Amino acid sequence: MSSLLPRLPRAVAKTITYSVMHLIVAVSVAYALTGNLAISLGIGLIEPAVQTVAYMLHEDVWRRAGSRDEAPNAEPGPYNA
Residue among 16, 38, 12 at smallest CA distance from 27: 38
The per-residue pLDDT of the chain, averaged, comes to 85
The pLDDT assigned to 38 comes to 98
- Specify if 80 maps to a domain: no
Q: What is the mean pLDDT of residues 53-61?
A: 93
- Specify if 9 maps to a domain: yes
> How does residue 18 score in pLDDT terms, banded at 50, 70 and 90?
very high
- Specify if 26 maps to a domain: yes
> How does residue 54 score in pLDDT terms, banded at 50, 70 and 90?
very high
> How does residue 44 score in pLDDT terms, banded at 50, 70 and 90?
very high
CA dist 24 and 77 (Å) reads 52
Which structural domain range is residue 62 located in?
5-69
In terms of Cβ atoms closer than 10 Å to its own Cβ (0-12, 13-18, 19+), residue 30 is buried
Total domains in the fold of the chain: 1
- Specify if 62 maps to a domain: yes
